[in-house]
Each structure stands twice: as structure tokens, then as C-alpha cells.
Amino acid sequence: MNAGAGRLRARLMELDLAMTTPRGRGSYRGRLAPSPTGYLHLGHARTFWIAQRRAQARGGELVLRNEDLDRSRCRAAYVSAMFEDLLWFGLRWNEGPNCGGPYGPYAQSQRLTMYRDALERLQRLGHVYPCRCSRRDVLSALAAPHAEDDEPIYPGTCRPPHGRLWMGMPVVADSQPPGAGRGRGAAGVNWRFLVPEGEAIEFVDGCCGPRRFTAGVDFGDFVVWRQDDVPSYQLACVVDDAAMKITEVVRGEDLLRSTARQLLLYRALGVAPPAFFHCPLLADAQGVRLAKRHDALSLRTLRGQGAAPEYWHRQWETMV
């Protein structure tokens, strides 16, 4: 065995141990996971405030994670504003990029080795396959419309035929063998998770109640590693929540379908998932869901206008 293969095997063994060791559930650990692609708005603040109150009510800890993997949109100015605006709104955390902690680093851009290790594990176990289809290719192949803010259901263009495996990985023409290039596919290749078509993914959400999604119907084979050589939200989120021992994920209800995808990743990686609490989304006066383009309701704008965060704290107390 050469040195490179030995290091790869050692990393995979370490990941095996981390992913199969049961996480203690004796103490509550929640998290705030903003992305510095713009100024945070009131909808973010409500979700984060609920996360903080749920952690406080259980005597638990709160982690701040900077989800800065979007190279084209993340800006240093947004990172600085994120800290300032969250603190102004009354949010406090026990671990994070600015204060450290036992499960750092707390910026996703500094955790790429962990994501590559997880990809290698998925490759080795035959859960993923390389795909050369662009988003435009996928959209042009779809016969039905899809939600603009969700990943379109993959039509299966590059999906491997069942039973064709190579060292546990589905065979796809012109693909690299598993583990090649430190868990990365060739240039221009996405890696997709092979969903168990027809399987019902069920969970009980702490806010929305029982939920059920069917793999292959409500969502298809989804991207876990993008062609620009970064992990997708789905994979990075699962790896980080597992590694940081998060016991409950509080986020917006627009991510309910993502939870079904992520439960499959938790299972494939051999780690117990956290509990989930998906908050209703906040809308503007016209009923449009808040987004980072809503400058009038950004925390930065409200702060500059002299708004009092306590006004919203009192309004949201019943939602915890």
C-alpha cells in the first residue's frame, strides 16, 4: 500500500468512527447557520430568535456557523454585518467563528477536508454517482414545472443501471474511480446521491407535525458535490450538524423537503439525525416571502432606523 492510499484509508477509518459513534443526547445543542451572501433580514432574525429561546428553555448551548461556501456571493462585508446585526438583535452564542469552541472551525470554507472525507465514504459505499448534466440540461428534460427555490427532480440521465458496481460505486461512463482526486470528480462533474425510489421518508417536525416525502416523486437524485468543487448545502449541513453534535435544527419551513434528503444522508453516513423544528416563513406587506433583496426589512436598515428588537421579541415569544 502506498503512502497516499494509507492516508486515505486512515481518514476513512476516522470518519467511520466519528459517524458510527452515538451522539450524546443529554444536553441540548442548537445552532444558527447564516450565509453571508447579503444582509440578514427580519425573517432570519425570527428563526434565529426562536432557536435561541429553545436552547435557553432547555438549558442548552447555541452554535454559530458561518455557511460561506458560495464563492461567488459571499463577501467579507456581509460577514462583519452578520456579527454586528445578530448581536444588535439580542442573539448570543456559546461557540462560533468569533469565540471558538471544541468543534471548530466554525466557517464552512475552512471545513472542506471533512466534506471530502464524507464524499469519499459515500463513494465507497455506492451512494453517489458522477453526473455531467448542467441545471439547464435538467430543466430542459423535465416534463412538469417545479418550485423555483427547490432543486428540480433529476430525470436520471446519468443515473447508473442497477447492479453495475465498481468497488461499491455505481459505474458511469467517463467517470473517475472512487476516491480519485481526494473525493472529487473530474472537472465539470457533479456528484449525485442515488435516492431509493419509492421509499417514504417520514419524520415528525417539532413545529409542523408529521411530514412525509416520497423519494423519486417529491425529490430526485440530488447533488452532494458541485462541479465547481464545493459540497452542496445538503452534504455540508449534514456533516457539520453531525460533527458539531447538534441535537435540534431550527430553520424555515421552506427546508422541509431538504430535511427528507438530509435524512437519507444521515442514514448513508451511519449517524443519528437531530430533531427538527421548521418555523413558518415571514412575508412582507404584499404576502411575498422575505428574501435578502428586501432591503427595507434587513436588520442593517432597521438598526439604522433606531428600531427596538424587543418589539419583535415580545411578538414571537409564543412561537417557541
Measure the CA–CA gap between 116 and 267, rounded to whole angstroms: 18
> Cell numbers 432597521 correspond to what residue?
302
How much is the pLDDT for 53? 96
Cβ neighbours of residue 111 closer than 8 Å, sequence gap 6 or more:
105, 236, 239, 240
How much is the pLDDT for 110? 97
pLDDT digits (tens, 9 = 90+) for 9-57: 444 334 443 433 334 445 999 999 999 999 998 999 999 999 999 999 9
Burial 36-68 (b: 16+ CB within 10 A, else e): bebbbbbbbbbbbbbbbbbbeeeeebbbbbbbb
How much is the pLDDT for 2? 43
Please say if the pLDDT value at position 188 is more than 90.
no
Q: What stretches of the chain show up as alpha helix (H) in DSSP?
A: 3-20, 42-57, 76-88, 112-124, 135-141, 233-243, 256-269, 299-304, 309-316
Measure the CA–CA gap between 217 and 263, rounded to whole angstroms: 16
The answer, as to whether pTM is greater than 0.85, is no
Domains and CATH numbers, the chain: 15-319 (3.40.50.620)
Name the DSSP letter for residue 289.
B
Please say if the pLDDT value at position 4 is more than 50.
no
Percent of the chain with pLDDT over 90: 68
DSSP string, 219-270: B-SEEEE-TTS-B-HHHHHHHHHHHTT-SEEEEEGGGHHHHHHHHHHHHHHT
Q: How confident is the model at residue 289 (pLDDT cuts 50, 70, 90)?
A: low
For the chain, what is the mean pLDDT? Answer: 83
